Protein backbone atom coordinates (compact mmCIF):
# COMPACT_ATOMS: atom_id res chain seq x y z
CA UNK A 1 0.00 0.00 0.00
CA UNK A 2 1.49 3.34 -0.99
CA UNK A 3 1.29 6.57 0.92
CA UNK A 4 0.32 8.62 -2.13
CA UNK A 5 -3.17 9.10 -0.79
CA UNK A 6 -1.77 11.25 2.02
CA UNK A 7 -0.31 13.82 -0.38
CA UNK A 8 -3.35 14.32 -2.61
CA UNK A 9 -5.95 17.03 -2.39
CA UNK A 10 -9.62 16.61 -1.69
CA UNK A 11 -11.50 15.00 1.15
CA UNK A 12 -10.99 11.23 1.29
CA UNK A 13 -14.13 9.12 1.34
CA UNK A 14 -14.70 8.57 5.03
CA UNK A 15 -17.62 7.56 7.22
CA UNK A 16 -19.94 10.24 8.55
CA UNK A 17 -19.19 9.38 12.17
CA UNK A 18 -15.71 10.94 11.79
CA UNK A 19 -17.47 14.29 11.45
CA UNK A 20 -19.28 13.53 14.71
CA UNK A 21 -15.94 12.77 16.37
CA UNK A 22 -14.67 16.19 15.24
CA UNK A 23 -17.76 17.81 16.71
CA UNK A 24 -17.23 15.89 19.98
CA UNK A 25 -13.60 17.06 20.14
CA UNK A 26 -14.72 20.66 19.64
CA UNK A 27 -17.38 20.33 22.37
CA UNK A 28 -14.83 18.85 24.77
CA UNK A 29 -12.45 21.68 23.89
CA UNK A 30 -15.16 24.20 24.84
CA UNK A 31 -15.54 22.51 28.22
CA UNK A 32 -11.76 22.45 28.77
CA UNK A 33 -11.59 26.11 27.78
CA UNK A 34 -14.25 27.04 30.34
CA UNK A 35 -12.63 25.00 33.13
CA UNK A 36 -9.15 26.32 32.36
CA UNK A 37 -10.40 29.91 32.31
CA UNK A 38 -12.07 29.29 35.68
CA UNK A 39 -8.83 27.85 37.08
CA UNK A 40 -6.89 30.79 35.67
CA UNK A 41 -9.28 33.23 37.33
CA UNK A 42 -8.78 31.53 40.71
CA UNK A 43 -5.04 32.10 40.61
CA UNK A 44 -5.47 35.72 39.61
CA UNK A 45 -2.95 38.06 38.08
CA UNK A 46 -0.41 37.68 40.88
CA UNK A 47 -0.13 33.90 40.75
CA UNK A 48 2.51 34.02 38.05
CA UNK A 49 4.82 36.21 40.14
CA UNK A 50 5.13 33.75 42.98
CA UNK A 51 4.40 30.37 41.44
CA UNK A 52 4.10 28.68 38.10
CA UNK A 53 0.42 27.86 38.53
CA UNK A 54 -0.75 30.00 35.63
CA UNK A 55 1.08 27.89 33.04
CA UNK A 56 -1.19 24.87 33.23
CA UNK A 57 -4.50 26.65 32.59
CA UNK A 58 -2.77 28.67 29.88
CA UNK A 59 -1.69 25.47 28.15
CA UNK A 60 -5.22 24.08 28.40
CA UNK A 61 -6.63 27.29 26.90
CA UNK A 62 -4.07 27.15 24.08
CA UNK A 63 -4.95 23.54 23.22
CA UNK A 64 -8.67 24.29 23.26
CA UNK A 65 -8.22 27.19 20.84
CA UNK A 66 -5.89 25.09 18.67
CA UNK A 67 -8.55 22.38 18.52
CA UNK A 68 -11.15 24.94 17.42
CA UNK A 69 -8.89 26.04 14.60
CA UNK A 70 -7.73 22.59 13.46
CA UNK A 71 -10.90 20.51 13.77
CA UNK A 72 -13.37 23.31 13.13
CA UNK A 73 -11.42 24.57 10.14
CA UNK A 74 -10.99 21.08 8.72
CA UNK A 75 -14.71 20.33 9.11
CA UNK A 76 -15.65 23.61 7.43
CA UNK A 77 -13.28 23.01 4.53
CA UNK A 78 -14.50 19.42 4.14
CA UNK A 79 -18.11 20.53 3.97
CA UNK A 80 -17.94 23.76 1.95
CA UNK A 81 -14.66 23.80 -0.01
CA UNK A 82 -13.53 20.21 -0.45
CA UNK A 83 -11.20 21.08 -3.34
CA UNK A 84 -9.09 23.18 -0.92
CA UNK A 85 -8.55 20.30 1.52
CA UNK A 86 -4.85 19.36 1.54
CA UNK A 87 -4.49 16.01 3.22
CA UNK A 88 -0.85 16.39 4.23
CA UNK A 89 -1.56 19.71 5.96
CA UNK A 90 -4.49 18.15 7.81
CA UNK A 91 -2.32 15.18 8.80
CA UNK A 92 0.39 17.41 10.28
CA UNK A 93 -2.19 19.55 12.09
CA UNK A 94 -3.93 16.47 13.54
CA UNK A 95 -0.63 15.01 14.77
CA UNK A 96 0.44 18.28 16.39
CA UNK A 97 -2.94 18.62 18.07
CA UNK A 98 -2.62 15.11 19.48
CA UNK A 99 0.81 15.95 20.89
CA UNK A 100 -0.49 19.16 22.49
CA UNK A 101 -3.53 17.39 23.96
CA UNK A 102 -1.23 14.80 25.54
CA UNK A 103 0.98 17.53 26.98
CA UNK A 104 -1.95 19.53 28.31
CA UNK A 105 -3.81 16.74 30.06
CA UNK A 106 -0.67 15.16 31.50
CA UNK A 107 0.54 18.49 32.89
CA UNK A 108 -2.93 19.25 34.25
CA UNK A 109 -3.07 15.85 35.96
CA UNK A 110 0.39 16.34 37.46
CA UNK A 111 -0.38 19.75 38.96
CA UNK A 112 -3.85 18.64 40.06
CA UNK A 113 -2.37 15.68 41.93
CA UNK A 114 0.09 18.01 43.67
CA UNK A 115 -2.77 20.24 44.76
CA UNK A 116 -4.84 17.31 46.00
CA UNK A 117 -1.91 16.02 48.03
CA UNK A 118 -1.55 19.27 49.96
CA UNK A 119 -4.72 21.28 49.51
CA UNK A 120 -8.30 20.51 48.63
CA UNK A 121 -8.99 23.51 46.41
CA UNK A 122 -11.23 24.34 43.49
CA UNK A 123 -8.11 25.07 41.46
CA UNK A 124 -6.99 21.45 41.74
CA UNK A 125 -10.52 20.26 40.96
CA UNK A 126 -10.67 22.39 37.82
CA UNK A 127 -7.30 21.09 36.65
CA UNK A 128 -8.31 17.50 37.38
CA UNK A 129 -11.45 17.99 35.29
CA UNK A 130 -9.32 19.52 32.51
CA UNK A 131 -7.03 16.48 32.69
CA UNK A 132 -9.88 13.97 32.47
CA UNK A 133 -11.73 15.72 29.68
CA UNK A 134 -8.46 16.43 27.89
CA UNK A 135 -7.56 12.74 28.03
CA UNK A 136 -10.92 11.87 26.46
CA UNK A 137 -10.38 14.46 23.71
CA UNK A 138 -6.88 13.06 23.16
CA UNK A 139 -8.24 9.53 22.68
CA UNK A 140 -10.90 10.79 20.26
CA UNK A 141 -8.24 12.70 18.33
CA UNK A 142 -6.15 9.53 18.01
CA UNK A 143 -9.18 7.56 16.77
CA UNK A 144 -9.92 10.31 14.26
CA UNK A 145 -6.30 10.32 13.05
CA UNK A 146 -6.19 6.55 12.55
CA UNK A 147 -9.37 6.47 10.49
CA UNK A 148 -8.38 9.57 8.55
CA UNK A 149 -5.08 7.93 7.55
CA UNK A 150 -6.91 4.72 6.61
CA UNK A 151 -9.31 6.69 4.42
CA UNK A 152 -6.43 8.52 2.74
CA UNK A 153 -4.53 5.32 2.03
CA UNK A 154 -7.65 3.71 0.59
CA UNK A 155 -7.96 6.61 -1.90
CA UNK A 156 -4.50 6.95 -3.51
CA UNK A 157 -5.78 8.91 -6.53
CA UNK A 158 -7.37 11.60 -4.43
CA UNK A 159 -11.02 12.46 -4.32
CA UNK A 160 -10.46 15.59 -6.39
CA UNK A 161 -9.22 13.59 -9.38
CA UNK A 162 -11.52 13.95 -12.33
CA UNK A 163 -13.33 17.08 -11.20
CA UNK A 164 -14.00 19.29 -14.18
CA UNK A 165 -13.95 22.57 -12.27
CA UNK A 166 -10.40 21.88 -11.15
CA UNK A 167 -9.20 21.17 -14.68
CA UNK A 168 -8.29 17.62 -13.76
CA UNK A 169 -10.39 15.73 -16.27
CA UNK A 170 -8.16 13.62 -18.44
CA UNK A 171 -9.27 13.19 -22.05
CA UNK A 172 -10.36 9.67 -22.79
CA UNK A 173 -10.91 7.92 -26.07
CA UNK A 174 -14.26 8.62 -27.61
CA UNK A 175 -16.66 5.84 -26.94
CA UNK A 176 -17.91 4.43 -30.18
CA UNK A 177 -21.61 3.77 -30.22
CA UNK A 178 -22.94 1.40 -32.86
CA UNK A 179 -24.63 3.31 -35.63
CA UNK A 180 -28.18 2.24 -36.02
CA UNK A 181 -29.20 1.62 -39.58
CA UNK A 182 -32.19 3.53 -40.74
CA UNK A 183 -35.02 1.69 -42.31
CA UNK A 184 -35.37 2.49 -45.95
CA UNK A 185 -38.19 4.85 -46.57
CA UNK A 186 -40.69 3.42 -49.02
CA UNK A 187 -40.88 5.21 -52.29
CA UNK A 188 -43.90 7.43 -52.52
CA UNK A 189 -46.48 6.45 -55.06
CA UNK A 190 -47.65 9.06 -57.46
CA UNK A 191 -51.06 10.53 -56.80
CA UNK A 192 -53.83 9.61 -59.07
CA UNK A 193 -55.05 12.49 -61.12
CA UNK A 194 -58.67 12.77 -62.06
Written as one string, the DSSP assignment of 47-100 is HHHH-STTHHHHHHHHHHHHHIIIIIHHHHHHHH-GGG-BHHHHHHHHHHHHHH
- Give tens-digit pLDDT for 91-114: 999 999 999 999 999 999 998 888
| Predicted TM-score (pTM) of this structure | 0.76
Q: Cβ distance 5 to 148 under 8 Å?
A: no
Cα separation, 9 vs 81, in Å, equals: 11
The pLDDT tens digits of the residues spanning 158-175 come to 765 444 444 444 555 555
Q: Which helix (H) or strand (E) holds 23?
A: helix 17-43
Mean pLDDT, the chain cut into blocks of 10 residues (194 residues total): 79 89 96 93 63 78 96 92 90 96 94 78 88 96 95 78 46 60 75 76
Amino acid sequence: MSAQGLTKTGVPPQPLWLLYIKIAIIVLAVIVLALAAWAQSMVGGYGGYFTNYTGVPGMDIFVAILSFIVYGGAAAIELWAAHLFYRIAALVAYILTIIFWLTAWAWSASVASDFFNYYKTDYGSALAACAGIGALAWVLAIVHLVFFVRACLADPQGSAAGQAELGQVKPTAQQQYPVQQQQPYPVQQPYATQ
